[in-house]
Structure 1
Amino acid sequence: MPITVSLINQQQCYAGNDRIRGRIVFQCSTPTEIQDIRVTFSGRAKAKVQKTKGSAAPAASYRSKCMLFEKERILWHPNGDTVAPDTYEWPFEFVFPSHVQPASSRWPETLPFRSDANHPLPPTFAAQTHDSLRKLECTIEYRIHAQVFRPQRGFLGRKSPLFSEVIRLNFLPLEARLELKGTDDYPTTYQQQKEQLFNIRSMLLLPENRGRSLKMQEKIQSWLSPGQLPRFSFKASFSYPTRLVQSTPIPCFLDITPFMEDSSVTSPPDIVMQSLSISMIIQTAARAAPSLMGALSGQVDERIEILSRTSLGMPVMGKVDLGQAFGPLRIRHTDVSFRTFNISRTYRLCASFSFECAGKTSTFDIPDLPVELLADSQEPEKATQSFERHFAEAESPPPYASASTLSTSSITTPEKA
């Protein structure tokens, strides 16, 4: 490659305010007319949304590209002169921003996206997913791009570079990393609780009837006079974390509390958990800005089963550590949560429990509990592995930018190697 980019202090994963230092090397083998040589450091979010319903053939695709930031330097500006064969070098240095540049008004504020100015820079991301309605391809990339341009010939001359090279960088914001010293140190401030009160009325609550089935005559009597039946109340509480760390155990607890003051029986009956289910809903969302074809957005949900048990027959009373009772609750590695102009990645925890008490079945459903998925601060590079697989091949370079948009202070003199 006639032009190469090498990083001096390359890291597996960058964060906001990290410095990036390197050198651009241009090997000119023959006399060549050069307009300029430049290096660009940029972040962009690209999405493609495609309809998949009602047609066997692929429907029209709606695309969007949002520049999260862009920093450009002119390394050399021969202005069309012929450059002698030689090897040239230039140092460069950039600082990773921690927030996006303000976007144009074409990005309205719509959940689950965000359009507020200077919101946190999203992590490196790449995903392809679909359902019966939409097919989504989403990419958030950060890259160093070196380009060599020839003089433009004519008004309609080509603006593509003569030579170019791209190096992509992994980025994970500090806000998306949670410091954990051990699996038992999960911050209690992140624990939330959902609860439900259950009221049981049954003749089987009486001590002499426990352990047997009601006869038909007793069932009819219960249907005709429900207000005269013995009653018992208990509360089921589910505790869960609003923040999760990739690949670490999820601390979830079930608490069963009898309310004897609201009950007509003298002692609490047996409460048996028959089944439970805990799952995670991963939502990937993308949108295309208004264009000649209009606008389109899509959201695709994927479910990951964390724990599922049936026919348990497990007596429950008091606080139950579900991880201790059924083994560590984990989800497979996935991307951290984020929201930006045209792409978002969010998570929802869902849980369901079935109890049997005095011949009555009660269901405790807790759907759509928003949670935030963070990276382990000790291993941030895992958050960007899917991105590296997705970009095995380089993409086309961006179009030529007018030199009038650059400050003259960015022009430097080449250094011969």
Structure 2
Amino acid sequence: MSLTISLDSQLTQYSGNETICGRVNLQCFKPIEIEEVKLTFSGLAEAKVQKTKGSAAPSVGYRSKCVLFEKDRILAHQGGQQMAIGSYSWPFELTFPSHVQPEIKPSKWPVIPPFRNDANHPLPPTFSIETSDSLRRLVCSIGYHIHAQVFKPSSGFMGKPSPFISEVLALQFIPPINKADMVDVENFSHMSYHQQEHVFSIQSMHLLQEYKGRSLGVQEKLRSWFSPRQLPRFNFSVSFSYPTRAAQSTPLHCNLTVAPRMEDSSVSSPPVILMQSLHITLVSRTYARSGPSLMGSMSGEVDERMEILSRTSLNMAMSGMIDLTETFGPLVFRPIDVSFGTFNISRMYRLCVSGQFECAGKMSKFQALDLPIDIIPRSQRNATVSQGPEPPIDDNLPSYTPFSLPPEMAGVPQDAKKHDSGNF
């Protein structure tokens, strides 16, 4: 006996509300008694959370399983009658949902950011990852399947029909992109940007014209050490701006601005500011949790890092704003899944930026280590936007896979600033 599922026109990926038509085909090579033929279309989010710290052997894992939706169809009810040798086929028609089924009770999953437990929230994308750090090991998957089963008649008075043969067809799902997001990622001038600024203050004899480019003598050094308030002062700011959303596997368009703050300085003209290094890393964080059970519950989070820009020994004079794409080329990263959140699994992203700037012989370090960014689906229109040739994917790189951030985690204020000062 063989069982197959065939679709009339299977898509490479679904985004919700599509009609799925197909047939379940059964080939009987000998007469056999059959109770029924059943078709189940379902979405399932599964997670395993395991503690790894201080354990030589694998520790007990806590598992969770959340049914996102489930639709059953009885294609044939034979009632235990015998089916003769031959081929049989049953048509079916399904609709791919776009939201979790409303029958799921959110109260089963407590409200803990960044998980989503609001009823009828959007379906998360197809997802699969196994990752770990020094504290936790996570095994997570979100899958959408059409499952055909042939059941034997029940044995005994209280017996239940048992599946005799089954076949599973997996379908890929990516949430749809809304129109507002599509405008953002296709029209760079209308993107929503977030900015992180850091103000530096330098006091040094080298800010004076007569000391530029030469070493200080003993008297000048003593003066710097014992009378720091008499040293000339220069303040400047470094700010990094980036889009709050990025389309899946498309380049980031980021800007870096270096600006003198003459109103807070004692020198008459700004000195040269050199950027010596710049590093940008995309950090993906996977969250998983298990529901309460007799064995208890556990949650965990694991970060993965992907370097998208790393430049050293730049010695680049900085003044005003520069487009990092124009300066260093497209800031691209390996294709990754979109951000999402559901009852027991979520995926979020942030950028980590660091750079060193030299002014008057002194080094200042710029750091912005927790900049939230949302990865949204890449539409067909996105795919046709002229971005220039994309660099080849390095198959040796680790694979990275990514919910809309909850309001309380949506980012820091636009005018967030830090201030460093020091005497030199």
1:253 maps onto 2:258 in alignment: no
Among 263, 267, 278, which residue is 1:276 paired with?
A: 278
Task: Give the Å deviation of 1:281.
Answer: 0.7
Which has the larger displacement, 14-23 or 108-117? Answer: 108-117
SS in 2 for 1:227: helix
Which 4+ runs in 1 deviate beyond 6 A?
none
Task: Give the Å deviation of 1:155.
Answer: 6.3
Residue aligning to 1:87: 87
SS in 2 for 1:175: coil
Whether the 8 Å CA contact 1:22–1:92 is kept in 2: the answer is: yes
Corresponding letter in the other structure for 2:99: H
Whether the 8 Å CA contact 1:198–1:234 is kept in 2: the answer is: yes
Pick closer, same or farther for the CA change 1:322–1:216 going to 2, 3 Å. farther
- 1:30-69 maps to which residues of 2 (within 5 A)? 30-69=30-69
Residue aligning to 1:402: none
Corresponding letter in the other structure for 1:113: F
1:299 maps onto 2:308 in alignment: no
Whether the 8 Å CA contact 1:355–1:363 is kept in 2: the answer is: yes
Residue aligning to 1:135: 137
- 1:105-184 maps to which residues of 2 (within 5 A)? 105-154=107-156, 157=159, 160-175=162-177, 179=182
Task: Give the Å deviation of 1:284.
Answer: 1.5
Q: Which consecutive unaligned segments of at least 5 residues does structure 2 have?
A: 384-394, 400-424
Identity of aligned residues (%): 57
Among 309, 334, 337, which residue is 2:311 paired with?
A: 309
Give the whole-Å Cα distance in 1 for the aligned partners of 2:159 and 2:216: 90
Give the whole-Å Cα distance in 2 for the aligned partners of 1:284 and 1:155: 48
Task: Give the Å deviation of 1:179.
Answer: 4.1
Give the whole-Å Cα distance in 2 for the aligned partners of 1:214 and 1:274: 23
Give the whole-Å Cα distance in 1 for the aligned partners of 2:269 and 2:156: 94
Task: Give the Å deviation of 1:216.
Answer: 3.4
Residue aligning to 2:370: 368
Task: Give the Å deviation of 1:302.
Answer: 0.9
Pick closer, same or farther for the CA change 1:106–1:151 going to 2, 3 Å. same
Give the whole-Å Cα distance in 1 for the aligned partners of 2:290 and 2:188: 38
- 1:206-355 maps to which residues of 2 (within 5 A)? 206-355=208-357
Task: Give the Å deviation of 1:180.
Answer: 7.5
Residue aligning to 1:16: 16
Residue aligning to 1:197: 199
Task: Give the Å deviation of 1:187.
Answer: 5.2
Whether the 8 Å CA contact 1:180–1:377 is kept in 2: the answer is: no
Pick closer, same or farther for the CA change 1:159–1:372 going to 2, 3 Å. farther
Pick closer, same or farther for the CA change 1:159–1:343 going to 2, 3 Å. farther
Which has the larger displacement, 305-314 or 62-71? Answer: 305-314
Give the whole-Å Cα distance in 2 for the aligned partners of 1:25 and 1:122: 30
Whether the 8 Å CA contact 2:98–2:123 is kept in 1: the answer is: yes
Task: Give the Å deviation of 1:156.
Answer: 6.7
Pick closer, same or farther for the CA change 1:61–1:266 going to 2, 3 Å. same
1:367-397 C-alpha deviation (Å, 9 max, x unpaired):
11111123321289xxxxx9xxx9xxxxxxx
Q: Which has the higher contact order (CA 8 A, sep 6+)?
A: 1
Task: Give the Å deviation of 1:165.
Answer: 0.7
Q: Which consecutive unaligned segments of at least 5 residues does structure 1 have?
A: 381-385, 391-417
Whether the 8 Å CA contact 1:176–1:337 is kept in 2: the answer is: no
Give the whole-Å Cα distance in 2 for the aligned partners of 1:73 and 1:187: 49
Task: Give the Å deviation of 1:202.
Answer: 1.7
How many residue pairs are counted as aligned between the two chains? 381
Task: Give the Å deviation of 1:176.
Answer: 7.9
TM-score between both structures, scaled by the size of structure 2: 0.84
SS in 2 for 1:120: coil
Task: Give the Å deviation of 1:261.
Answer: 2.1
Give the whole-Å Cα distance in 2 for the aligned partners of 1:72 and 1:370: 40
